Structure 1
Amino acid sequence: MSSQREKLLEAAVAQSFNAVVITDARLDGGGPHIVYVNRAFCEMTGYAAEDLIGQSPRILQGPDTDPEVIDRLRTALRSGSFFEGATVNYRRDGSAYDVEWNISPVRDDGGELSHFVSVQHNISDKMWMRRERDLLAQALNVASDPIIVTDRGGAIVFVNQAFERLTGYPADEMLGRTPAVLRSGAHDAAFYSGLYAALARGRPFRATFTNRRKDGSLFHAEQSIAPLCDGEGEVTHFVSVSKDLTERIERERALQEIASRDPLTGLYNRRAGEQALELQVQAAHAEGTALSLIIGDIDHFKSINDRHGHPAGDRVLAGVGEALRGAVRSRDLAVRWGGEEFVVLVPECGAARALELAERLRSSVAGLQFPAVGRVTMSLGLATLVAGETAAGLVMRADRALYRAKHGGRDRVETAAALD
């Protein structure tokens, strides 16, 4: 029965898919030496069994065999302990292959170390794929454009160094998280719905994103996101390649800001004000929110220019503009409408609160004193948007209220009636 088990074991090892080599345990005289190899081992190495029996496994080593791995192996053999490792070995024809092996000590009935048995795997294909993957990662890392790779659930599995530089997030902080950490709030739900819908259909998505860095600052990037599929066409990952547009967009915005500002007062000019008014009227009607408009005129401004000259008049205009900027809310828009006339757009604000703001504006201007000119005042008209009203209609009603303020004694606020 014992003999039968031994034959069965020998047949199993001989026919094993894995390469098996057995050596003796003698470490002197250049040992250990090979006492058995199976067919898989011969196929892996290109040697016939008779060429290997009696040889040291060192016959398989060559220039690229890792000496540190071999040193660890010898230490394990001397101590009679288990070993596993991987390195480069060489076939009989001199070609290299990557091998992974584990070596187990074998002891006789008396507990004496008698042999070592090693099970080996040719991992050349796996190592080639790993080297290709490492090469790809290296190539992605040196790319100048930020790159993110996520799994199909959106968890980040790779970011390159350009991404780290752009966002301020190191790779180890991003792995496992989703790109949502970069959201700035600049895009609405519809924007992201379009993104998810495109990716769900297996289509790429391209847009300019305004995102937030780790330090809280904003950046702008043109981002292209595309699905990656396996051999069966199933989406496995998504890859995003970005181009940093921050400098260009900020430069364009700065130029646009310059073009929309009145150079004397620093307030928005009439063209920008009219565009903003049209948008705010549309938004107020669509969302059912309030919108008020205040129009003001510096009292007796023509006489200031006539008596003290245009430079003095410019100083008054600049001072009034500064006073208006300091008195309005952050969401309000102060505009130099033309000449000595100013407009303040007051979104989400009904007539009562807008009247309080108009009085504050009037008081702020009335408190100004200018060399040679002295005290100046402003008259203001206020109108609050009514259902179906156009931007032109709102301005006309506010202008009529201003007219009444001018002819009612100046330095005062008049409110337009709803159907004025």
Structure 2
Amino acid sequence: MTTSELSLFKAAFMQSWNAIVITDAERLAGYRVQFANPAFCAMTGYALDELRGCTLQILQGPDTDPAVIDDLRACLKEARYFEGTTINYRKDGASYVVHWNISPVRDDEGVLTHFVSVQQDISDIVRAAQENLLLARALDATSDPVVLTDARARITFVNTAFAKVTGYTVHEVRGRTPAMFQSGAHDEAFYRALRASLDAGKDFRATFINRRRDGSLYHSEQSISPVCDDKGRVTHYVSVSKDISERVEKEQSLLHEASHDKLTGLHNRRYGEQTLGKAILAAHKHGRSLTLLVCDIDHFKQVNDRFGHLAGDRVLRDVAHILRSAVRSRDCVIRWGGEEFLVLLEHCEQAPGVLLAERIRHRVEAHHDADVGKVTLSLGLATLKPDETMEQLIARADEALYEAKHGGRNRLSISQRQGDSPESISSPTG
């Protein structure tokens, strides 16, 4: 080997970023240090003069892994390559995590003369890994569902809470996109707003209606945030959510109770007045037709007096069911009070309103209660006139109902115009 080559090897040894130490091969003497580069001295805190002639057992301490040391000794004894990781101790007593390998060195005749070890302090790497593991465990332990996706929205992590809420296992969702949870309850504008917010580097917060593995829907308050690297480039997205299905159900139940009649399940008068008022404003604004029916069960007081309130309640529920099943799905049926009902028919002229009212009347007449027997219905109909108020429309329908009642009941009367007498078009039957 030339002098220049020796100089190169020496420079490489002394200037190496990795810590390098060379020991002899004397097992009985404990493999004493002969050379160590500056990186090794800096890592251990020992000067070369303090290390030379000593064994590296001086770096071991209470937390040094005995199993790793046993493996090390076996490799040295058999002159085999060794690689391992354990905890060593610096001169000042501070511990560090070292990953190192040892290779046997032989002379030209193959005789073992030395061991050379290349070492690296990986304490920061281990600490970061432990912190990441702790973070992952913390995210997994939180009761709120957490989802992490890459920049292409592919799922890389979900916690146990998320799996519990959705019914999917971690393996079933990893690599897929959150689109798999879409329920169809949100329109394209909702998702455009989501993408625009994230593309601008902003959080997106909303209540999502998502679909579980079993097909059921759940409500989730969700916050989605972009995660950026040191250069500000988005690398991931993190979503933290809260299952609010129970709260939404309670709110919907309260809303239903506030807007529906408890006995019949129909809309109550308060809701009906609000709905009718809005419908009339819309009809006037857009030039739409609107027809109102006011219905009253004939001789209902006699039903209560003769058969009792339980029978009366049953009749009310049965008539409510007939009304609801006879009209269109978009029509609003209201229990106005007592035995009186309102049916709001939007986009409905007088003629089809009359046909529908007659259908209702006939179906009620055909119904037979086990105790009460036949029940009949009287109806008043009024079609909205230009500039007519809600109060005026109801008054005309009420006037028509009064005419039907006094005209013999079980009939439909139609209000023509304000000030004109209602026209009775149906005669009582049976």
Q: Smaller-chain TM-score range?
A: 0.7 to 0.9
Cα shift readout 1:168-224 (whole Å, capped 9, x = no counterpart): 444444444443333333333333333333333333333333333333333333333
Name 1:365's counterpart in structure 2: 364
For residues 369-408 of structure 1, the aligned pairs below 5 Å read 369-378=368-377
Partner residue in 2 for 1:254: 253
Q: Counterparts of 2:160 and 2:415 in 1: how far apart (Å)?
A: 60
Shift of 1:374: 0.9
Q: CA 1:274–1:15 in 2, change beyond 3 Å: closer, same or farther?
A: same
1:40 lines up with 2:39 in the alignment? yes
Give, in angstroms, the shift of residue 60 of structure 1. Answer: 1.6
Counterpart Cα distance in 2 of 1:81 and 1:408: 114
CA shift, 1:325, in A, is 5.0
Over the aligned positions, Cα root-mean-square deviation in angstroms equals: 4.6
User: How do residues 9-24 of structure 1 correspond to structure 2 at under 5 angstroms?
Assistant: 9-24=9-24
Q: How does 1:171-182 map to 2 (within 5 A)?
A: 171-182=170-181
Please list every run of 5 or more consecutive structure 2 residues that lacks an aligned counterpart in the other structure: 417-421, 423-430
**SS state at 1:85 partner:** strand
List per-residue Cα deviations over 1:243-292 (Å, max 9, x = no partner). Answer: 44333332222222222221221222132344455677899999999998
Deviations 1:347-403 (A, max 9, x none): 899999999977775555344222442112346688999999998899899889989
- CA separation of 1:391/1:209 partners in 2, compared to 1, >3 Å: closer, same or farther? farther
**Partner Cα distance (1:114, 1:287) in 2:** 101
Structure 2 counterpart of 1:147: 146
* Structure 1 length-normalised TM: 0.76
Amino acid at match of 2:13: V
* 2:59 aligned with 1:50: no
1:121-200 correspondence runs (5 A): 121-200=120-199
Are residues 239 and 365 of structure 1, via their aligned partners in 2, closer, same or farther at CA, if it must alter by over 3 Å? same
In the superposition, the TM-score normalised over structure 2's length comes to 0.74
Secondary structure in 2 matching 1:263: coil
> 1:320 Cα deviation (Å)?
1.6
Percent identity, aligned pairs only, is 56
- Deviation larger for 131-140 or 8-17: 131-140
Structure ID, larger Rg? 2
**CA shift digits 1:29-64 (9 cap, x unpaired):** 264443432221111111222333343333222222
Which residue in 2 is equivalent to 1:208?
207
Q: Where does 1:251-330 land on structure 2 (aligned, <5 Å)?
A: 251-276=250-275, 296-301=295-300, 304=303, 312-324=311-323
Amino acid at match of 1:59: I
Q: C-alpha displacement at 1:317, in angstroms?
A: 0.9
**Shift in alpha-carbon separation, 1:197–1:353, aligned structure 2, 3 A:** farther
**What is aligned with 2:427?**
none
Residue correspondences, number: 419
SS in 1 for 2:266: coil
Indicate how the Cα distance of structure 1 residues 246 and 68 shifts in structure 2: closer, same or farther if over 3 A, else same.
farther
Following superposition of structure 1 onto structure 2, how do residues 58-77 of structure 1 map, counting pairs within 5 Å? 58-77=57-76
Return the letter of the residue paired with 2:245. T
- The SS at the match of 1:202 is coil
